[in-house]
Structure 1
């Protein structure tokens, strides 16, 4: 074979070799996780009543007691107040009264609804999830709604002040809550990983709870007309119970590397019963009774469910603070009122 023939053969062999090894030498660009790149970008809310929209009214069909579903998801919920230019839609999977076990994977149901993480699986496969906001833990060992009921019972005179009966055991309740919330958050991360998302492809934000009541109750409202709590219990809820709960939720967020948004002081000055002249300025429901529900056996036990939850005005403020936080890279922030009275996401340096 002439030299030119050898050269042609060599070139053929080199090209063939590169073709066989092409996948190793020139790997294709990494495909975006989950659904196609052009899938609509969405955000998701998960957790319990503080984020489902309990107290904000106008509840979505089939979540206001229909067929036993009392999740009370509201179109006024904070997640729907988040307006971001690249987000096409918000999904609210949160359910009033949900324990963290129902937020995570597993067989635990809340008001007939399956695991929220399992519901997330379908959304993550169809849309491009850019942020997941979680508020959970209060319905685990803390049983915060039952604590408020105990405080009301103390005002009636049927029990000791809840600050005395529950206060000493409160830190232990929070400590037992932390691993449960941590587990639920890890389940959410597992769902996203199984859907092809890397940790950097979406934000996981854990938010804490705002104090719905405080010691500065307006004259004439510290009774069944608004806030039937003893003064010492009002102080304990705002100054001790909610801050300790906040630190527990913060710890769970840190355990999984999630971002943290502190709402514990978000309602300061806007708590239930804080204004005698302008109740619309408050961001939380007072003692609320759905009188028509008392006429029906299947609804009567839920007639007080909205009490001491953020109202529509509160959700609007919390949602706008959340939206601001989502546009930053801060690992943690707190929703605090500015001089104009509106909330903004303040870092520790602010």
Structure 2
């Protein structure tokens, strides 16, 4: 056969095969399914603050930060305090293969889309949305737990707790309040009122801020999730203190907290984990309910904007019933929250008793918390047992058919989600 005829034949076969492959496309190899994942975002009640067993946290430079020492700068990424005992890690979540805790203690709405390091007192971690994108590259995100709103541009949980505890201690140890000059003047010696914690205008501003941040989060999640199918659980907050203290903590040495000075009572309540005026408790619970309203309003608003998304509100305000600090005579033993604990210098050793302390002792101990916030930041957060309970709450919210559920602790300690 002449060369030109062989060449033409070969060319014809090539064209025919090309036409065949175009008409009947061969199936592409099936891609391996990504492992399923649950992700936590938000602030300290989600990260696991108070639960111990804190794991290294990758900072904005891609370096995993382990415990840097008690005198390190508090903006260190490690102090996000992501705990192996956090509720995400303790929840029974059938079908979930991997879990990623991206929350950070002290997290604010702005930290969702902006690096936390960009704001005052922020930690050196990337924006939580950017961390979420990284997870989505290798995981099919099926469940997201988010807790946001207790810290915002108007107020923070830490500042509220500090204000009310400081007032009680100042009242109990009358005369030592001048050592708290770092707060801008003498500490008030009266119980906290509703207006002291958060005004209606502040709650409104915090709500708008939270909605805007979570809107960005949901938009990103819808873009990066492998199959577009995921449930988002909006968890609110539980108060570490009861509506009233156990009668054992009402007075000491025939003095209650309406007196001018009551050091023995102050020391007793500090040891039990609840240095607080009894009259501050009701405003504190109304503040907690206000935080719940922020979270629920955020969920409801965004459910209307994202009608195809699976969004569930998880109310945990009664999850610690009967086991709050100073609710039982054994407090803090048996409580589900961490007591307020300070250090006398950044030593790692907590002061468990203020009995016999004088003004200079109090000044020195207080200044440790101011200089090294990590020495006291666990105070009044769920402890490991508390996060175990919150994990049960999450497990219920992860499978419910309802759009809003409450997690309640009964008198016998059982947890129900309905």
1:5 alignment counterpart: none
2:155 alignment counterpart: 142
Once residues 333 and 63 of structure 1 are traced to their aligned partners in structure 2, the CA distance between those partners, rounded to angstroms, is 37
Q: Secondary structure at the match of 1:322?
A: helix
Once residues 224 and 129 of structure 2 are traced to their aligned partners in structure 1, the CA distance between those partners, rounded to angstroms, is 12
Offset at residue 64 of structure 1 (A): 4.2
Deviation string 1:156-201 (CA, Å, 9 cap, x unpaired) is 233142215515x5322111011211122122212222225565x0
Moved more, 212-221 or 179-188: 212-221
1:269 alignment counterpart: 322
1:40 and 2:35 matched: yes
Deviation string 1:94-125 (CA, Å, 9 cap, x unpaired) is 100011111x2234433100111110001112
1:73 and 2:119 matched: no
Contact 1:56 1:310 in 2 (8 A): yes
Distance 1:265 1:297, change over 3 A: closer
Once residues 205 and 230 of structure 2 are traced to their aligned partners in structure 1, the CA distance between those partners, rounded to angstroms, is 28
2:415 alignment counterpart: 343
1:229 alignment counterpart: 276
Contact 1:163 1:236 in 2 (8 A): yes
1:310 and 2:382 matched: yes
2:44 alignment counterpart: 49
1:130 and 2:177 matched: no
Q: Secondary structure at the match of 1:111?
A: coil
Contact 1:170 1:241 in 2 (8 A): no
2:240 alignment counterpart: 212
Aligned with 2:288 (options 242, 248, 251): 242
Aligned with 1:114 (options 126, 133, 137): 126
Q: Give the structure-2-normalised TM-score.
A: 0.69
Moved more, 332-341 or 296-305: 296-305
Offset at residue 234 of structure 1 (A): 1.4
Once residues 298 and 215 of structure 1 are traced to their aligned partners in structure 2, the CA distance between those partners, rounded to angstroms, is 29
Contact 1:171 1:244 in 2 (8 A): no
Distance 1:205 1:297, change over 3 A: closer
Contact 2:236 2:317 in 1 (8 A): yes
Aligned with 2:394 (options 290, 315, 322): 322
Contact 1:291 1:303 in 2 (8 A): no
The unaligned stretches of length 5 or more in structure 2 are: 1-18, 57-64, 172-186, 250-266, 304-310, 349-367
Q: Secondary structure at the match of 2:326?
A: coil
Offset at residue 223 of structure 1 (A): 2.7
Once residues 192 and 164 of structure 1 are traced to their aligned partners in structure 2, the CA distance between those partners, rounded to angstroms, is 36
Moved more, 288-297 or 112-121: 288-297
Distance 1:107 1:98, change over 3 A: same
Aligned with 1:185 (options 214, 219, 222): 214
1:283 and 2:336 matched: yes
Larger CA Rg, structure 1 vs 2: 2
Once residues 65 and 111 of structure 1 are traced to their aligned partners in structure 2, the CA distance between those partners, rounded to angstroms, is 13
Once residues 115 and 96 of structure 2 are traced to their aligned partners in structure 1, the CA distance between those partners, rounded to angstroms, is 31
Once residues 203 and 68 of structure 2 are traced to their aligned partners in structure 1, the CA distance between those partners, rounded to angstroms, is 30
Once residues 209 and 166 of structure 2 are traced to their aligned partners in structure 1, the CA distance between those partners, rounded to angstroms, is 29
1:163 and 2:171 matched: no
Q: Secondary structure at the match of 1:318?
A: helix
Offset at residue 37 of structure 1 (A): 5.6
Once residues 274 and 263 of structure 1 are traced to their aligned partners in structure 2, the CA distance between those partners, rounded to angstroms, is 18
Once residues 196 and 145 of structure 1 are traced to their aligned partners in structure 2, the CA distance between those partners, rounded to angstroms, is 34
Say how many residue pairs are matched: 317
